[in-house]
Structure 1
Amino acid sequence: MISATFGGLLFGYDTGVVNGALPFMAKRDQLNLTPTTEGLVTSSLLAGAAIGALPGGKLQDRYGRRKMILNLSLLFLIATLGTTFAPNVSVMVTFRFLLGLAVGGASSMVPSFLAEMAPAENRGRMVAQNEIMITGGQLLAYVFNAILGVTMGDTGHVWRYMLFICAIPAFMLFIGMLKVPESPRWLASKGKKEEALSVLKQIRDEKRAIAEFKEIEESVKRDADLEKATIKDFSTPWLRRILLISIGISVVNQITGVNSIMYYGTQILEQAGFGTKTALIANIANGLISVLAVIFGIWMIGKVNRRPMLIIGLSGTTTSLLLIAIFSMVLKGSPALPYLVLSLTVLFLAFMQGCIGPVTWLVAAEIFPQRLRGLGNGISVFFLWAVNFVIGFSFPILLSTIGLSATFFAFVVIGLLGIAFVYKFMPETNGFTLEELEEQFRSKYDKGNMKKSFSKAQ
């Protein structure tokens, strides 16, 4: 099952590698990027991810988790080679879009596969490990960017080596998934009961495999009696409201500006005063704190309520951006500025990855009723990637036109709106079973008495 988490590693590396590759791509004798084409190169992957995330649930339900992840590994490999050898911006954007389809698919398929394969007591750890692999992939991208940028920075096409490295985990994902069996739950849902039991006996002891198989059979029978989930189900007022809350939380995750730092951290540090090579090395700190903060957040989320954790995280990220904006304006040209900006981006990511990230994905997974969980989650993730695309495209344009300080002041204003949204609309979900949550939403949401309905966990 560890093989499947290479999908998360690829997710992280592909979204992080552009951070260090862009300054070299932009050179006149390479792709000669403008701020607009920089935004296109970065955001084309995000557009692909938004589109790739939507059909992920249906495709894996139809063809199987393992088979679809195998197909994704091949798409990762082909698209990586396409970006590596891209002769111009058009080809680069095309293959970055294809890479995004793979990233979006992986973001929905890999967690499902891990959750269905892992034993109950290890499910949380296995799914959380995928989140660590995503941030670990970004950290690896920053490390390799720094090594290659420092040692080969005078070679114009060094960015091609940065991109090519991603072919290695793509190949490892393909080889690993060839040896991994299909999800027993998917096999049982397709009537392949003998195969499902056989797989369970491979990954569990026999007594436990038989007991778990009986549970899966009962679950499949229950699901067969349910009508297929469609978008029309969200016309019901209480379901429509929780969909809008989930979309809102997903949007709030992105309007923090997190991916302006994850994708353009090197350029931010360059504008603050570092040289390119120094910025590449300094950017490793952003990757390292992301990994450590995710580990801390996963530990913390079982001990703290979701709503205050999200508000604390948003307050921390907004304050960090406000300080970056102020210092960039007051200390412009000062040798201390790049070090202050680096410290504040690290602080920003500590709040983002330690508080906001874990809560966003968890709430999206638990807020919907069982029958609509996959569809509702897919819609929310689509909006997350869509906002990610807008920020990824517009950030370098804003940076070149209004500057670092004004750009981050804009994110501060949006961040305050995000805090207001969470404070006013987000219910507390900690302390309830999934069934209790569904009943609370169903019976109380349309009565305007949210505070009373969700007082148990506060």
Structure 2
Amino acid sequence: MSASMSQQSVMDSAVRYLISNYNPKGNRIGWLMMSSILVEAWDLYSIAFVLIFIRDQYHPDPLLLGLAAAGTQGGALVGALIGGWLSDKIGRRIMFLATMVMFIIMALVQAFVTSVEWLVVIRLVLGIPLGSDISNGYTYIMESMPKGEREVMGNRWQFMFAVGEVLTLAVIAVFLIINMDHEWVWRVTLGLGALPAFIILVMRHDLPETAVWLIRNGRFREAKQVAKSMYNDSLDMLPDQDVVVTKPSSAAFLADIRKDPIRWRATLYGWIACFAQATEFSTFAFYIPVLFTMVGVSTILGNNLVTMALYVIAAISGWVGPQITPKVGQRGIAIAGFAIVFVALLLAAWALYTDHKILLPVAAAIMLWGHYWDASNCMTIPTVVAKPEYRGTASGFAYMFVKLPSFLAIFLFPTLFSAIGQANATLFVAIFPLIGLLAAVFILPEIYGYEYD
């Protein structure tokens, strides 16, 4: 056996040993990574509810207003790719610290913009750390928790989104109740995103680099120190000297996952599910306030409160889904989620076609329940099946399939909505959960508890 093969064998053994036996502190790390989703949820959904105030103040054309709403999604598309790649190249820890610092600065800056043009620019830049942090956070979870537990934690990202949405809506509701000036409402709301980001930065500051990444990069001394500190294990199978490791090209991960049909099918499903769930949500969520107006909810505050109630239901769904995943598997939760969304959208379309509008809030609640299941594992699956040396890249690549349709849907769907009408638009959206359902049935293998060979 050559020295390089022996070295690779030692690294593989150490990585498998870590994944199989630890972590006593993995849950804390997992929740710290999940907490950053609160920041993204705050920013993504606060803009939806304060956009009306920005429009009334600056009177931009619809295209510019759409860019202000979708700008963060566009930036996150870039951030997901760059951040995942950098996470593999320079490390997980430096990336999650850098992304939080960058977000804090940009979140504060957007509160002081003097035009919608500047808001668009700032929000495009703001999206970069958001996209990067999600892809980096998933690599941290998969390398800091044992198999079985890491899948459950990864699937909780939708629960954290729902919590962030409820918090955002609650704060805006308070501002409206106390009759805060509308300019102050949107500026304070957007700027407040820096507060949870700062708290997360402080809480994450002392987290070490993952031992898995250190091992894969030949930094054995640091890996042994981290393992000793976190798990009271010195990783005696590793030598005490660092070694030079040739880093594979990040682009090679596409060729690598094709070698194993299970990993390839799981990854392909992840991409399809990311696209399908992001499209179904970004389109349907756009006109939830419109639907509520149709059934008699006519005030901004009323829409805010009814929407908040919906997201409380979504948060419950987002918690239940990961809890039952060990029993039904990743495939089971995906099939159930997409099927529920598909049926809910058909119900909504029927209610619109037949003028039974009173059913629309019921259909919206059912749709969100299913969505928070079908979206729960679309990031977990491609990240967990990736090899550690490609994990950041794989996670970022998958998140690209979330952000691209989100950007296009928020930016372009209002035009389609106006052109074909509410009922036809609802029926059109139903195509996407159907695609996700078919992919879950025919493409996705069961990979709960998966460990690469």
TM range (shorter): 0.7 to 0.9
Bigger mean CA deviation after superposition, 89-98 or 264-273: 264-273
1:387–1:217 distance in 2 versus 1, CA, 3 Å: farther
Distance 1:200 1:110 in 2: 19
Kindly indicate whether residue 49 of structure 2 is the aligned counterpart of residue 14 of structure 1.
Answer: no
Specify which of 327, 347, 355 is matched with residue 303 of structure 1. 327
Q: TM-score, normalised by structure 2?
A: 0.80
- 1:154 positional shift: 5.6
3-state SS in 1 of match to 2:64: helix
Partner of 1:428: 445
Which of the pair has the greater relative contact order for Cα pairs under 8 Å at 6+ separation? 2
**1:9-408 → structure 2 map (5 Å cutoff):** 9-27=38-56, 30-118=57-145, 123-124=150-151, 126-128=153-155, 131-152=158-179, 155-204=182-231, 206=232, 209-210=233-234, 213-214=235-236, 224=245, 227-231=248-252, 233=255, 242=265, 244-255=268-279, 257-262=280-285, 265-270=288-293, 272-274=295-297, 275-331=299-355, 337=357, 340-354=359-373, 356-368=374-386, 373-408=391-426
Partner of 1:441: none
Identical-pair percentage: 22
- 1:228 positional shift: 4.2
For the aligned residues, what is the CA RMSD? Answer: 3.3
1:234–1:178 distance in 2 versus 1, CA, 3 Å: closer
1:123–1:217 distance in 2 versus 1, CA, 3 Å: farther
1:244–1:175 distance in 2 versus 1, CA, 3 Å: closer
Matched positions, count: 419
Structure 2 unaligned regions, length at least 5: 1-28
Distance 2:58 2:205 in 1: 37
Q: Which amino acid aligns with 2:364?
A: T
- Please tell me whether the aligned partners of residues 188 and 217 of structure 1 are also in contact (alpha carbons under 8 angstroms): no
- 1:431 positional shift: 6.5
1:367–1:265 distance in 2 versus 1, CA, 3 Å: same
Structure 1 unaligned regions, length at least 5: 439-458
Q: TM-score, normalised by structure 1?
A: 0.80
- 1:133 positional shift: 2.8
1:81–1:262 distance in 2 versus 1, CA, 3 Å: farther
1:426–1:216 distance in 2 versus 1, CA, 3 Å: farther
Distance 2:326 2:143 in 1: 21
3-state SS in 1 of match to 2:78: helix
**1:408-427 → structure 2 map (5 Å cutoff):** 408-423=426-441, 425-427=442-444
